[in-house]
Structure 1
Amino acid sequence: MNHLKIRSQFKYVQHKIEAIDKESFRYNYNVIEGDALMNTLEKISYETKFVAGSDGGSICKSSSKYHAIGDIEIKEEDIKVGKEKALGLFKAVEGYLLANPDAYN
């Protein structure tokens, strides 16, 4: 069996699944605990949806919402860095699944 290994600077992150809608290919979850929240965020909410692409493939649409603790200001640069890391993870998973189609059947 093939395994995907992904390294992270974070030691621990806890996710909470909020919704899975198989009919609309939508998945909502929150990061609710862990060092990724850096003691400045209550949580990070993610919504991911897959839609049909014009070439017969799929397009992944993802949005995130950062919930700061109190009146802490979140810098746009920090959000950009986080999004780039998330895209890197997505690309790693996509590459693995494309190379190992039996891994998800």
Structure 2
Amino acid sequence: MGVFTYEMEVITEIPTAKMFNAVVLDGDNLLPKIIPQAIKNVELLEGDGGPGSIKKITFGEGSQFKYVKHKVDAVDKENLSYGYSVIEGDALLNNELEKIVYETKVSPSPSGGGSICKNTSKYYTIGEFKIQEEQIKAGKDKASALYKAFEAYLLANPDAY
């Protein structure tokens, strides 16, 4: 088994608290609204949304994946951070991956007023499986597009959150 880690950052115009509230605290409701082609729905299967909760994300028609289940590892409203692990679903690449752990931190941008959304992704591989550069780039592109979709929604709805 190996662990492959990558990080990425997206800078948005949205203030930190507003971005965290939209992405983390209300993301399950917003995702199917702002990117319905990618996310069909998010279901809370166990828990109250806090640590230990299990969620199922069903992807839209155009997605390469059908669904994933993830377990919420941490929600830190004070430090604007969130962590979860993908524990089931076809994103685990037919059992080539044991799990994928994501950590998100929202912090103020240096210019003030906006946010830096930093993601750390850890892929726990099984056997000799290796993550390909194309897969990493595709993952980063999708994550960046996701943050930009939240930003566009919040800019179009300035009274939200």
TM-score, normalised to structure 1, is: 0.84
**Paired AA for residue 33 in structure 1:** E
Q: Deviations over 1:6-32 (max 9, x none)?
A: 423211111211001111101011111
Q: Distance in 1 between matches of 2:108 and 2:90?
A: 35
CA contact (8 A) 1:16 1:32 kept: yes
Secondary structure of 1:46 counterpart: strand
Q: Distance in 1 between matches of 2:117 and 2:37?
A: 20
Residue 102 of structure 1: how far off its partner (Å): 4.2
Secondary structure of 2:112 counterpart: coil
Aligned-pair identity in percent equals 61
TM-score, normalised to structure 2, is: 0.57
Out of 44-53 and 83-92, give the one that drifted further: 83-92
Q: Distance in 1 between matches of 2:71 and 2:159?
A: 27
Which of 130, 137, 140 is the equivalent residue of 1:83?
140
> Residue 50 of structure 1 corresponds to which residue in structure 2?
106
> Residue 41 of structure 1 corresponds to which residue in structure 2?
97
> Residue 16 of structure 1 corresponds to which residue in structure 2?
71
Aligned residue pairs, count = 103
Residue 100 of structure 1: how far off its partner (Å): 2.2
Q: Distance in 1 between matches of 2:159 and 2:93?
A: 37
Residue 42 of structure 1: how far off its partner (Å): 1.2
Choose between structure 1 and 2 for higher RCO, CA contacts under 8 A separated by at least 6 residues: 2
Residue 77 of structure 1: how far off its partner (Å): 2.4
Residue 34 of structure 1: how far off its partner (Å): 0.9
